[in-house]
Amino acid sequence: MSQQITTLTFFKYPSFKQKLWAFGMMQFAHAPLKKIAGLSFYKLLGSGKKNFDPAPDWSVYGLLQVWENQEYATAFFEKSSLFERYKKHSDQQLTFYLKSIKAHGQWSKQNPFEASDTLDDTNDYIAVITRATIKLTMLKRFWDYVPTSQLDLVDNPNLLFTAGVGERPVTQMATFSLWDSANALKKFAYRSANHRQAVQQTQALQWYKEEMFTRFQPYKIAGAWNGFYIPADLDSKIS
């Protein structure tokens, strides 16, 4: 039975000094992260501007972590000196706790996400991570098309949280989205004309070198983020 969980943490760095520290940690955090007990996979992530603009947002960074079990994750967030440093240098932190439902594709030549054996049938929320390494020859066509592909996400009432992130600007990108139900996600995926066209374009043009699509069941959210209301049944302070 798989007890694996995934966490995705966002950090907000408003000041120039904080941004400089966060940028440096994209390099310097690797060594301590490799020593964290129970951590089987991680990615340090920068972010793009609103509506998946490829230009970097130097004030927001992310940390994706895959844990062998909840206990290892809890130890990191409660006792790790590295996480304390992140909290000290950032003004806001928000962590999503996720159980993998299904993952297709690869991330850095592997699929690190194991389907969970402990999904909750009464939990309707769903989170999605999509990521891709874009072929250099397709960069312009891809980014020219992004605004059209995202039209149906703007002001979607069922979309609770979304962010564009990536390991490298422009070429290695990912998106994270939190939805209030699987039905809402399916409606977007299958009834959105712009999204269907984006899928068709992807299949026709083959603009990815590597890609992955992963669905998760979020079961807890910790922290706070301006403009985002944590649902009561996912709020770590309540549940």
Question: 167-217: per-residue pLDDT in tens?
Answer: 876 667 888 999 999 998 887 766 555 555 555 555 444 567 788 899 999
Residue found under tokens 């043009």: 205
Number of compact structural domains in the chain = 1
pLDDT in tens, 96-155: 999 999 999 999 899 999 999 999 999 999 999 988 877 666 656 666 656 555 655 666
Write the burial class of residue 41 (CB in 10 Å: 0-12 exposed, 13-18 middle, 19+ buried): middle
Q: What is the reported pLDDT for 141?
A: 62
At 117, phi and psi to the nearest 5? Answer: -95, 0
Phi-psi bin for 238: left (phi > 0), alpha (psi -120 to 50), beta?
A: alpha
Report d(CA 5, CA 108) in Å as an integer.
19
Residue 208 inside a domain? The answer is yes
Side chain identity, residue 238: I
Query: By the 8 A CB rule, do 236 and 220 touch?
Result: yes
DSSP letter (8 states) at residue 239: -
Q: Which domain holds residue 32?
A: 5-223
Residue 91 inside a domain? The answer is yes
pLDDT in tens, 30-68: 999 999 999 999 999 998 766 565 667 899 999 999 999
Q: Supply 100's token pair.
A: 């993998």
Residue 119 inside a domain? The answer is yes
Taking Cα atoms as reference points, which of 238, 215, 231, 232 lies closest to residue 6? 215
CATH code for position 156: 3.30.70.100
Residue 56 inside a domain? The answer is yes
